[in-house]
Amino acid sequence: MVCAPQRSTYGISKAALIQMVRMLAVEWGPKNIRINAIAPGRLLTDSPSRAGIGFNEDYLTNMLSKIPLGRFASAEDVATIAAFLAGPNASSITGQIIPVDGGLSAA
């Protein structure tokens, strides 16, 4: 989780979701129910919420410089992880938060 000024309520709510995933994985695991979450980083989409900031070149250049892989994740990157987690190859994965952020959360 990346911390930033003026974002405490966002960070607190994100921490609560992380803990919820872990607790539900422990509670529901005995029923063979897996609980995981995907934590996407900045995605470039046509979302109206990006108006005014999402396509600002200076902002995007600055953000991109902080991502170790040097690129933004795509919606397809997130979908691939979701499909994997829902499939049989992830049958032993539970209680995990999977970041899809090009390494930003590790930097």
Decide if 10 is catalytic: yes
> How far does Cα 33 stand from its chain's mean position?
21
State both tokens at 69.
């892989």
Other Cβ atoms within 10 Å of 106 Cβ, number? 8
Catalytic-role residue among 1, 2, 7, 10? 10
d(CA 101, CA 77): 9
Task: Supply the residues annotated as catalytic.
Answer: 10
